Structure 1
Amino acid sequence: MHLHLVLPGLLWPGAQTADPAAGLALPALERLLGHARVRAAAASSAEHWLLRHFGLDPQAVSAAALRRLGEELPAGRADAGWLCADPVNLRFAREHLILADAATLAITAEEAAALVATLNETFADIGRFEAPTPERWYLLPNTPAQARFVPLAEAVGRPVARCLPEGEDARDWQRLANEAQVVLHNHPVNRAREDAGQPLVNSLWLWGNGTAPEGARAPLAVVQAATPETRGLVRAAGVEPQAPAPLLTAPTLTVLETLARPALHLDLDGWRNALVALERDWCAPLLEALRAGRLKTLQISAPGERATLELGVAARDLWKFWQRPRSLDALHKTLP
């Protein structure tokens, strides 16, 4: 049996943080790291790494179409044309306007429905908005966008002025974003949030346009995934994704993204908690499966902004008694 485990966020992105995993009891992970063949490849976002491994061009395919295909919606197609129109908060920090995504906003389903209804009334000539979840919104424009947008993950915590759309109709989309800010800022939902001391849902982040994801191919017949982005990618390859679980019945690709969000937001406590859960729920069971021979080979890929870590360990490697456990912090110190 073979498992390819993809762990975006395993590498803590802040190189200035010394020993981010210090003090954590991670014996199974350290044993796996100690016995694995380790290679550090070029840095990559998890999204681009996955698209390439499914045979798609990260610079061309529509992330919005893939993510919407992965939502818990009635079955549909991964059509091009969709944009992600995610709710965000913009605030001034010193002289810059900084973006915070919906993960920090605690938007309720009722708030999202009210805000999207007003957007549809106000911008009916632009297209149709929808909100399958309070955190993830979409726009199907009447005229497909010809701009190049910055993905939300690359804009979080960064000055917005450096992340504006570019291209043929970029000014039109920036104008829509500005007009949407006015509508959202004056909405009763945001007046109530302001009275309650909550951050405002005061802007939309448009991104994710591109070509239809045609020709996607799953690397393995069984794929486990939990987030809508990855579930949509798997469905585009003609495979129905399964929920992540360390109990395998066939060679499996598992994309486990529990570390990705705290790493993106530089939430060190959240990342450490997710690392403890990874040790308990995955590393310890997989190490035992290797020892018992139920799992023959384990491959781990950890794409990140510092490097992409590639590790391989086989059941027979555990007999190499001279190889000692290796801490994650020690591994961090070998990276640029």
Structure 2
Amino acid sequence: MNTLPMPEFSAERALIVPFAAADDDACRQALAGLALPALQAVLTEWSTPGPVRGDAYSRNAPHEHALAAALGWDARPDGLLPLAAWHAGVIDRPCAWLHLCHWTVGMEQVSLQAMDPASVPPDQSRALLAALAPLAAEDGLTLVWEQPTRWRAEGEPLRHLPWPSLDRVAQRRLDGWLPDGAAHPAARPLLRLLNEAQMLFYTHPVHDERAAQGLPAINGLWIDGCGTLQPHEAPQGTPPQLTDALRRPALHGDWAAWRDAWQTLDREAIAPRLRHPRPGPITLCGESHWQTWAPPSTPTHATLLAGRWRQTLRRLWRPARPANVATVLQSL
């Protein structure tokens, strides 16, 4: 049974749903017979411009691209969506997130697990940040504590540094995901910082403290959300709501919990939109693609996707064809 806390959803806000499906046989089996009556009504009654096609190996995940489009950001190279800067409201200064992680090194592979926020006391996180900050400063980076499992880095080395999203690599082998320092010279100091963090964290008192508490080791970091937010892209208005209800069970392959989370999401976030006079649109995101649905009667729903998409969507937006939920989700 799903025990993840559900946030309060606003039916007026655009809703972006990451991890709506995954390219996994167990996920496809979980979709069989999954009853999502509110989502079925949306797919049948609302309008869509069709899917926005992507790549399962892009550095940024589909839900990150969907958020950037909804916010009207300028086009950027893959891996350079300034999510950290946008979240903090930092303008014209390069930023990135540093996520506390557990790296597992095997005989032939290295994999990465994101830390559960509940397992990282703030004092431990702050102690590790204080220890790493001087080394980061040598590379021109300032570290800012945001959450127990996530810090923000600011500095020029992050301005042109494409890096894969944590949502791309969590619970996976890192083969092919780590930037190549030879091809991307800007990545070299950051790769060195990751190595220094591993050595520093291993010898830090927090390591022994967590071992004594039976907690998983914090033995590394992952960088993402790199880039610079331009002044005309500053946060304004009410942003879309990006729910993480499906994220944890999807990343851990817990498809029973994922099904439960989907049913709760359908009941608490999607069903109220069917009764609301001015509901916000819904965007579903898989591993490669994303697709948006909005009420056909809403005259301004095409403005959800700004910039170069706007005129195209106004021409192509069309009523959705009735479709089975599982079929649509598998297509993402």
With the length of structure 1 as denominator, give the TM-score of the two structures: 0.72
Encode CA deviations 1:266-321: one digit per residue, 9 max, x unaligned: 332332232122122123222233xxxx24x76432132243233344479xxxxx
Q: 1:331 maps to what in 2?
A: 328
Q: State the structure with more CA Rg.
A: 1
RMSD across aligned C-alpha pairs, in angstroms? 3.3
Q: CA deviation at 1:203?
A: 0.8
Unpaired runs of 5+ in structure 1?
Answer: 70-76, 217-235, 242-252, 317-322
2:168 corresponds to 1:169: no
* Inter-partner Cα distance in structure 2 for 1:181 and 1:125: 17
Is the Cα–Cα contact under 8 Å of residues 20 and 268 in structure 1 kept in the other structure? yes
Q: 1:268 maps to what in 2?
A: 255
Q: 2:73 maps to what in 1?
A: 55
Is the Cα–Cα contact under 8 Å of residues 259 and 275 in structure 1 kept in the other structure? yes
* Inter-partner Cα distance in structure 1 for 2:177 and 2:159: 17
* Inter-partner Cα distance in structure 2 for 1:206 and 1:142: 15
Q: CA deviation at 1:23?
A: 5.1
- The change in CA–CA distance for 1:47 and 1:184 in structure 2 (over 3 A counts) is same
Is the Cα–Cα contact under 8 Å of residues 80 and 209 in structure 1 kept in the other structure? no
2:145 corresponds to 1:131: yes
2:126 to 105, 108, 113: 113
* Inter-partner Cα distance in structure 2 for 1:155 and 1:169: 20
* Stretch of structure 1 that moved more, 86-95 or 134-143: 134-143
Q: 1:304 maps to what in 2?
A: 286
* Inter-partner Cα distance in structure 1 for 2:159 and 2:76: 17
Is the Cα–Cα contact under 8 Å of residues 93 and 154 in structure 2 kept in the other structure? no
Q: CA deviation at 1:133?
A: 0.9
* Inter-partner Cα distance in structure 2 for 1:142 and 1:313: 43
* Inter-partner Cα distance in structure 2 for 1:152 and 1:182: 21
* Stretch of structure 1 that moved more, 44-53 or 174-183: 44-53
1:239 to 237, 240, 258: 237
2:195 to 178, 194, 198: 178
2:55 corresponds to 1:68: no
- The change in CA–CA distance for 1:200 and 1:34 in structure 2 (over 3 A counts) is same
* Inter-partner Cα distance in structure 1 for 2:97 and 2:161: 13
* Inter-partner Cα distance in structure 1 for 2:21 and 2:81: 26
Encode CA deviations 1:128-176: one digit per residue, 9 max, x unaligned: 3222210111223475565432222222123234222341232222122
Q: CA deviation at 1:61?
A: 4.4
* Inter-partner Cα distance in structure 1 for 2:118 and 2:287: 25
Q: CA deviation at 1:55?
A: 3.0
Q: CA deviation at 1:123?
A: 4.6
Q: CA deviation at 1:116?
A: 1.0
Q: 1:248 maps to what in 2?
A: none
* Inter-partner Cα distance in structure 1 for 2:288 and 2:133: 41
- The change in CA–CA distance for 1:257 and 1:186 in structure 2 (over 3 A counts) is same
* Inter-partner Cα distance in structure 2 for 1:3 and 1:111: 36
1:42 to 38, 53, 76: 53
Q: For residue 102 of structure 1, what is the amino acid of its counterpart?
A: M
Is the Cα–Cα contact under 8 Å of residues 286 and 329 in structure 2 kept in the other structure? no
Q: 1:156 maps to what in 2?
A: 170
Q: CA deviation at 1:58?
A: 3.9
Q: CA deviation at 1:106?
A: 1.7
Q: 1:220 maps to what in 2?
A: none
